[in-house]
Structure 1
Amino acid sequence: MLKELSSLSVILSAYASISAMAMLIRTILNEMLPERMTNYIFSMIYDFTSAYFSSDFTFIIEDRWHAGDNQLFRAAEIYLPTIIGPSSDSLLVGFDESSVPTTPPKRSILVDCRIKDDFDGMRLEWTLSSIEPKKYYVPTKRFFSLTCNKRDRERVEQRYFPYINRTAQEILNKSDSLSIYTYDQECSMWEPTAFKHPSTFETLAMEPQLKEFIMKDLDSFMERNEFFENVGRAWKRGYLLYGPPRTGKSSLVAAVANYMRYNIYGHQFQGVRNDYDLRRILTSTTNRSILLIKDIDCITTASHDRTKVIEKCEVKEDKDENKRPFSINYRVIHSFLSLSWFD
């Protein structure tokens, strides 16, 4: 008992000496240095000591990565709502247009909400943060903070993050709902809407041979990941849809989306200001997606040439109407359909 008291008294004496020394040093610095310099020095000392004695390590996962969307951030967005438990103090819920009224609401993550997870004996804590930009044309910056024990850092990188990616992919594969996205140029972000187009290959009015060819081509695209990787090409497939209005181009796009279970990103590139804008728009599409570019010929001067052709044909048709057995509709619509899958 006496030994324990003596040890405690030694600790208290050492703490008192250190505190007195710190106060003396601070007093001396306040008299010799400006206040801003003193605060800076003590903040550096605090940061050093807290980093040295703290047992926590924090991963920062931003929504953007190398001029594109961070796939780990998106995987966390899909995975985390499935593990929200009683330890979380808030929860964002809601229904979308495709929800069945009798089903539970869908979950989402609220900014500053803390979510705890247990994986392979590791205690992990997630937090979603958001920073509003000072300039209106700069998009909002969002990022996840993942805190773990320092000794678990390597296991989180090698095992936990791949597990999140796999789980998010399984959730997407089981999802029944699809979305169609339109790009908001002012906010620099894609805005989703529930996609409920009924068109399928069974209901599509098309030649059976051509329909079978497209379905086999889509199946081949899904199975040729190794081929694209071996030849060093991006895993994507492109289709050019050409024809007059109301000939089934949009229905074909919807049938492909329903067959592949891919979301659609539709955009007209006439409003793209420069190459940076175009790169940002293209790289912000998600995995398992269809990029639909409407009126692709309007990006260049081809649309002006097409207008001239229409005007000349209309004038000629008015002058020589009786000599033409039928009239041709020159107002065609060009669409480019690109299916992409990035791993």
Structure 2
Amino acid sequence: MEVWSNLGSIMAAVIFIRTMAKEYLPPEFYGFLSKSLRSLIGIVSSHISVVIEENDGMKVSEVYEAVQTYLSVRSCSAAKRLKLKKPQHNKEFTFSMARNEQIAEEYEGIKVWWVFHSSERKQQIMFSWNSTSEEKRYYKLTFHKKHKHIIFDQYLPHVMAEAKTLEIRSRYRKIYTNQSNSRDYEYRNRVWTPVVFDHPATFGTLALEPELKQDIMEDLQRFLRGEKYYRQVGRAWKRGYLLYGPPGTGKSSMIAAMANFLDYDIYDLELTQVKNNTELRKLLFTTTNKSIIVIEDIDCSLDLSDRKKKKKPQKDGEEDEKPSKPGKPDERESNEDSKVTLSGVLNFTDGLWSCCGSERLFVFTTNHVDRLDPALLRSGRMDKHILLTFCTFGAFKILARNYLSIEDHELFPDIGDLTEAAQMTPADVTEHLMKMADHPSRALENLIQALREAKERIATAALKGISEENASATEGQV
């Protein structure tokens, strides 16, 4: 049972008892009771409490998370009721205090009490019979007031430092999503929902030309060392990357490799779930430093196309040149509730709000870079453009090493002659290698056959295109 959680109620009860005793008890007995009550009031009032709430404005309080980490270790031995969790892909269990649970500890001979409080409050939605629940969570620290300076100057900094050490020791990367449907009360009121990120991709496993890979790694290393430089030139410590190319060329794997290389968390932003520009700014503000903010397939999320290439208003009787196929609506049309604009996305990446944090990467991916507005692609927003294209011979050798455990083979020259003309993506090459991973020679033979077929399809399509072009020219002459 909590000792100091109901001080107000205790004080009210003491005053009530004292008033009733004075009116109904004999004077000699009242004097003894009054003296005892004064002693009790002195004991109660000699302690003070500090409340540490979860939310600090729109963000989760750094102090709250530090206290939560600090107490997670101590609660195992000191608390009677615990919450047990095992995050996905994490080898160890994690413990935390149950609701209204109390633990006590000593610091430099000073006794302190920690209590975790959690209460749920329902709110009625305006113009609706429905209601939403909002959970308020906080820790309360109680100690004798004569030790206030030691607690503030020494103990609380000790808690913060110890929590940081524990976090580094048990650190695992996370990926966050803004599609928050979590039933876990720990994340219910947060705009981002995290899960453990355990993607195995590294720059060593990426199917890229070695020169391009080295260039990207050096660029990331310069960014890591750039805090002083960015401040010196008056720019926010952030950098934008645009990954573009055909589907299956490894854009998502590149993001995972960047996160593993930098040891950063990932915020996977689903723009179609964002209602307006204000909510977009709130999502940006609640991201942490040392993170990668990702928007994949940005050309499909919202209408961010080149404003100069947009169609002019049609006149009566005119039809679209390329009518949409039945049953294949534009993905952007499904986002009718979103009012996020191109201007909002531009400010998100390079506006004043983008400076509310540091050491962050913005990574956008697209299959059709030509569709995007040039304002989104300029330096300061997307500083480095990386083309991820069809599988080259250099990229193939990395895949052969990863999937077949071979560095060289007599069939490599044949594959080298075919890769450029076949225009096969790394994902397709990987699929052929995995089918016969236990038999490298057969796997390479099957790949050669697939590359030849792909090359023939491209040649046939090219001839067909030339024939159609000639036929059109002939019709025009007639």
**What is the TM-score normalised by the length of structure 1?**
0.67
Kindly provide the CA deviation profile for residues 66-85 of structure 1, in whole angstroms up to 9, marking residues without a partner as x: 33221111112222112225
User: Which residue in the other structure is 1:89 paired with?
Assistant: 80
Q: Helix, strand or coil for the counterpart of 2:78? A: coil
Following the alignment from structure 2 to structure 1, what is the Cα–Cα distance between the partners of residues 233 and 132? 39
Cα distance change of structure 1 residues 227 and 304 upon mapping to structure 2, 3 Å threshold: closer
Quote the offset at 1:225 in angstroms.
4.0
Which amino acid is 1:122 matched to? I
Residues 84 and 116 in structure 1, CA contact (< 8 A), matched pair in contact too: no
2:151 is the alignment partner of 1:151: no
Quote the offset at 1:275 in angstroms.
4.3
Following the alignment from structure 1 to structure 2, what is the Cα–Cα distance between the partners of residues 181 and 61? 24
Residues 50 and 140 in structure 2, CA contact (< 8 A), matched pair in contact too: yes
Residues 243 and 333 in structure 1, CA contact (< 8 A), matched pair in contact too: no
2:71 is the alignment partner of 1:76: no
**Gap runs ≥5 in structure 2:** 1-16, 25-36, 124-130, 182-187, 312-319, 325-366, 384-478
Cα distance change of structure 1 residues 68 and 192 upon mapping to structure 2, 3 Å threshold: closer
Following the alignment from structure 2 to structure 1, what is the Cα–Cα distance between the partners of residues 51 and 297? 40
Residues 245 and 333 in structure 1, CA contact (< 8 A), matched pair in contact too: no
2:51 is the alignment partner of 1:60: yes
Residues 138 and 188 in structure 1, CA contact (< 8 A), matched pair in contact too: no
Following the alignment from structure 2 to structure 1, what is the Cα–Cα distance between the partners of residues 62 and 75? 21
Following the alignment from structure 2 to structure 1, what is the Cα–Cα distance between the partners of residues 42 and 229? 47
Kindly provide the CA deviation profile for residues 62-111 of structure 1, in whole angstroms up to 9, marking residues without a partner as x: 111133221111112222112225331112223233134xxx53223322
Which amino acid is 1:161 matched to? L
Cα distance change of structure 1 residues 209 and 304 upon mapping to structure 2, 3 Å threshold: closer
Following the alignment from structure 2 to structure 1, what is the Cα–Cα distance between the partners of residues 212 and 321? 35
User: Which residue in the other structure is 2:101 paired with?
Assistant: 113
Quote the offset at 1:290 in angstroms.
2.5
Q: Note the 1:251-262 alignment, pairs <5 A.
A: 251-262=253-264
Which amino acid is 1:191 matched to? T
Which amino acid is 1:67 matched to? M
Following the alignment from structure 1 to structure 2, what is the Cα–Cα distance between the partners of residues 80 and 337? 42
2:110 is the alignment partner of 1:122: yes
Residues 57 and 150 in structure 1, CA contact (< 8 A), matched pair in contact too: yes
- Aligned residues: percent identity? 33
Instruction: Write 1 or 2 for the structure with the bigger share of strand.
Output: 1
Q: Helix, strand or coil for the counterpart of 1:181? A: strand
Which amino acid is 2:249 matched to? T
Following the alignment from structure 1 to structure 2, what is the Cα–Cα distance between the partners of residues 337 and 164? 40
Cα distance change of structure 1 residues 203 and 21 upon mapping to structure 2, 3 Å threshold: closer
Cα distance change of structure 1 residues 279 and 51 upon mapping to structure 2, 3 Å threshold: farther
2:209 is the alignment partner of 1:207: yes
Cα distance change of structure 1 residues 302 and 224 upon mapping to structure 2, 3 Å threshold: closer
Kindly provide the CA deviation profile for residues 39-76 of structure 1, in whole angstroms up to 9, marking residues without a partner as x: xxxxxxx9xx9599612121111111133221111112
Q: Tell me whether 49-58 or 277-286 shows the greater mean CA deviation.
A: 49-58
Q: Note the 1:1-343 alignment, pairs <5 A.
A: 19=18, 23-24=22-23, 54-100=45-91, 105-135=93-123, 136-137=131-132, 139-175=134-170, 177-185=172-180, 187-189=188-190, 190-227=192-229, 235-297=237-299, 301-303=303-305, 330=368
Quote the offset at 1:211 in angstroms.
2.5
Following the alignment from structure 1 to structure 2, what is the Cα–Cα distance between the partners of residues 304 and 297? 10
Which amino acid is 2:49 matched to? T
Quote the offset at 1:201 in angstroms.
1.1
Which amino acid is 2:175 matched to? I
Residues 76 and 82 in structure 2, CA contact (< 8 A), matched pair in contact too: no
Quote the offset at 1:251 in angstroms.
0.6
Kindly provide the CA deviation profile for residues 108-137 of structure 1, in whole angstroms up to 9, marking residues without a partner as x: 332222233333333222222122231255
Q: Helix, strand or coil for the counterpart of 1:84? A: helix
Q: Helix, strand or coil for the counterpart of 2:138? A: strand
Following the alignment from structure 2 to structure 1, what is the Cα–Cα distance between the partners of residues 150 and 165? 22
**Gap runs ≥5 in structure 1:** 1-17, 26-45, 316-328, 339-343
Q: Tell me whether 207-216 or 63-72 shows the greater mean CA deviation.
A: 207-216
User: Which residue in the other structure is 1:8 paired with?
Assistant: none
Which amino acid is 1:118 matched to? E
Quote the offset at 1:233 in angstroms.
5.8
Quote the offset at 1:255 in angstroms.
0.8
Residues 305 and 371 in structure 2, CA contact (< 8 A), matched pair in contact too: no
Following the alignment from structure 2 to structure 1, what is the Cα–Cα distance between the partners of residues 69 and 150? 21
Quote the offset at 1:229 in angstroms.
5.8
Which amino acid is 1:96 matched to? P
Q: Helix, strand or coil for the counterpart of 2:141? A: strand
Cα distance change of structure 1 residues 53 and 91 upon mapping to structure 2, 3 Å threshold: closer
- Number of residue pairs the alignment of both structures matches: 282
Q: Tell me whether 118-127 or 291-300 shows the greater mean CA deviation.
A: 291-300
Following the alignment from structure 1 to structure 2, what is the Cα–Cα distance between the partners of residues 333 and 93? 49
Following the alignment from structure 1 to structure 2, what is the Cα–Cα distance between the partners of residues 252 and 333? 22
Following the alignment from structure 1 to structure 2, what is the Cα–Cα distance between the partners of residues 147 and 233? 44
**What is the TM-score normalised by the length of structure 2?**
0.50
Cα distance change of structure 1 residues 247 and 277 upon mapping to structure 2, 3 Å threshold: same
Cα distance change of structure 1 residues 138 and 197 upon mapping to structure 2, 3 Å threshold: same
Following the alignment from structure 1 to structure 2, what is the Cα–Cα distance between the partners of residues 232 and 139? 40
Q: Helix, strand or coil for the counterpart of 1:133? A: strand
Following the alignment from structure 2 to structure 1, what is the Cα–Cα distance between the partners of residues 47 and 208? 61
Following the alignment from structure 2 to structure 1, what is the Cα–Cα distance between the partners of residues 369 and 219? 29
Cα distance change of structure 1 residues 64 and 180 upon mapping to structure 2, 3 Å threshold: same
Q: Helix, strand or coil for the counterpart of 1:148? A: strand
Following the alignment from structure 1 to structure 2, what is the Cα–Cα distance between the partners of residues 314 and 127? 64
